[in-house]
Amino acid sequence: MVEKYLQIGKIVNARGVKGELKVIPLTDDALRYEKLDWVYVERNGYLEKYNIDHVRFANPFVLLKLKGIDNIDAAEKLKESFIMIDRQHAIQLPQNSWFICDIIGCSVILEDGSVLGEVTDVLQTGSNDVYVVKNEVKKDVLIPAIKSVVKDVNIESKIIRVSLPEGLIDE
């Protein structure tokens, strides 16, 4: 199932006395915040919509002021919450790119049709992503997300087909 909402940041603290939020961006392009008029804040399993008053940047953080969050007490109540957007407002990804939340939970199938396991995490290494796949013996297998290894990704059916280089996993 494709996620309806995407996390684009995590509120880690309040900043100043007027309710500004210190956010760790969970997106490759933090400048995308400047293009948003509103966001959802996820608290206790519920989404609350907030209009954005202003956005500033203090690397590596986004400083976000939401309308209605006007003091440090209100801002601190949002600490540890996630900033969300609905998928229709997400950035358009390049071809053969996927949102991490869509990759997690996919079954990884080997060339012979056997199931290697399920993607439980995606590590962002800089040069290429690495899929963390948990197999039936609960052992993590690290799969480099490169064209020579990842042959097909089908988000709708939650299946990733791979061709593993020799020696990548123990026999």
Residue 89: predicted pLDDT: 76
- Is the peptide bond preceding residue 60 cis, with omega within 30 degrees of 0? yes
Residue 170 scores a pLDDT above 70: no
pLDDT in tens, 49-84: 999 999 999 989 999 999 999 999 999 999 999 999
Based on its alpha-carbon atoms, the radius of gyration of the chain, rounded to whole angstroms, reads: 19
Residue 3: pLDDT above 70? no
* Domains detected in the chain: 5-89 (2.40.30.60), 100-162 (2.30.30.240)
What's the pLDDT at 154? 92
pLDDT tens digits, one per residue of 82-133: 999 988 877 777 787 888 888 999 999 999 999 999 999 988 887 888 999 9
Residues 52-66: b if buried by 16+ CB within 10 A, e if exposed: beebeeeeebbbbbb
pLDDT at 95: 82
* pLDDT for res 4: 84
For residue 76, what pLDDT is reported? Answer: 96
pTM of the model: 0.71
